Amino acid sequence: MTLKYVGREMVKEKLMKIIIVDSLFTSFGGGQKIAYATYRILRENGHEVFYWAMIKEPYFISGYECSKYFTPYYSGIKDYLKNPIKYYINYRAVNDLQKFVNIIKPDVIHFHSFWGLSSAIFNVKTNAYKILTMHDARCCPATTFMYKNSCFCKKQYCKNGNFLPCIINKCVENSLEASIRRAVVASIDVKNFKNVDYFITPSNALKDYVIKSNVGINSSNVTTIPNFLPDNTFNTIPNYRNRGYFLYLGRLSPEKGVQYLLEALKDLPKDIKLHIVGTGSEEESLKNYANEHNLDNVEFLGFKTGEELKEEYQRCIAVIVPSNWFEIFGLVNIEAFINGKPVIASNIGGIPEIVEHNVSGLLFEPGNVEQLKECILKYRNNPQLVVEHGKNGYQKAITQYTEDRYYKALMKVYEDVINTSINTY
């Protein structure tokens, strides 16, 4: 039997009252998808769940009743210039959340992304237990673990809450101003982490990195719960055939490593085709590179969703994830698996926890163009291996990344946190 907890007292009822807090109540990125899916799954299992975010439509649920309690949208640099303090401490968000918490009186507040809300929201006064799922690397001022904005920061220079190395090396956008700004935010975040009871990371890689950063989050207060696929995704029938192209899907920005992918294609036979789905700051420069090197076998398809996106997955040979930064999880990996496709990916961050080398995909060292070329040729020349790895990936997806598995792990965290707290009183 699942127990309900009211404040710090245990009550013999079956369900909990939970507030999900996220920056947005709309699909902006992987974090928002997981936050909303968490809200939905908890409700489907009978819990009384409420959502709180910033005002920015369209919402996941049109006309959502609780949206009247949402806080004004923070638009980034424009709002920063108007009100610099809000960038560091969003007092309006804290006050609005406090009012909502006072009305709902939850047992648990489950925080997800807090971009624009500021970490000051962790300081709301409540008897509820506070849990944070870390969808980004907030123990790193750049949140990308990118050293000098160019490569993975293996040595973790910003340890023990000392973010001066980020400033010295201009790790954020190669800008001194941006690096100072983010270092100050990171310092505030670390202090506010003390008001969170428990942390969840989507990968063991992030968990280890957070603990080694030594910012006050120890191993007893953090656990790993991998991201998952919605139940309706499992209606997908895997397609082990293909139409002769590799697929990149994601943001077109430096840390995603698409430039290395184009470098690899430049030296490979022209009958190896690549579809690029996505947009971003590097789109024009990548297109220019492709034109300069006569990469007619590369197609830039822009942003796609729904059935169009599904078709791209279904028809490709394999999905390529050439990231140059610390991927915390990467939903694209398991989305590829559920379509029966193996993955060629950088051996970095949480990726190798999902993609097993020579089992469900092929791994290469980040930025190593020669290794990437070898991986592409290996799949191009071994179609049966592609099918074998695709089948292995599919089996992993349907057994390890389900809503049910996620829900059970999440409820264990809720109950463990509450039981531990009760036992200390």
Q: Give the model's pLDDT for residue 14.
A: 56
First-last CA distance in the chain = 23
DSSP 215: S
Q: Give the model's pLDDT for residue 373.
A: 98
**Dist. CA 322–CA 343, nearest whole Å:** 10
- Tokens representing residue 191 in the block: 């202090």
Contact 348, 323 (CB under 8 A): yes
> Looking at the domain that runs over 231-400, which CATH code has it been given?
3.40.50.2000
Q: Give the model's pLDDT for residue 143.
A: 87
Under-70 pLDDT residues of the chain: 1-14, 421-425
Q: Is the peptide bond before 383 cis (omega within 30 degrees of 0)?
A: no
Q: Give the model's pLDDT for residue 421.
A: 59
Q: Computed over its alpha carbons, how large is the radius of gyration of the chain?
A: 22
Q: Give the model's pLDDT for residue 218.
A: 85
Q: Give the model's pLDDT for residue 254.
A: 87
Do 4-228+402-419 and 231-400 agree at the fold level? yes
Query: What are the residue boundaries of the structural domains of the chain, listed by start?
Result: 4-228+402-419, 231-400
164 forms beta bridges with none
Q: Give the model's pLDDT for residue 274.
A: 98
Q: Is the peptide bond before 58 cis (omega within 30 degrees of 0)?
A: yes
The answer regarding whether domain 4-228+402-419 maps to CATH 3.30.450.20 reads no
Q: Give the model's pLDDT for residue 2.
A: 44
How confident is the model over 338-361, as pLDDT tens digits?
Answer: 999 999 999 999 999 999 999 999
**Dist. CA 124–CA 65, nearest whole Å:** 22
Nearest Cα residue to 200 out of 187, 190, 210 = 210
Alpha helices in 162-305 (DSSP H): 164-168, 176-192, 204-213, 258-266, 283-292
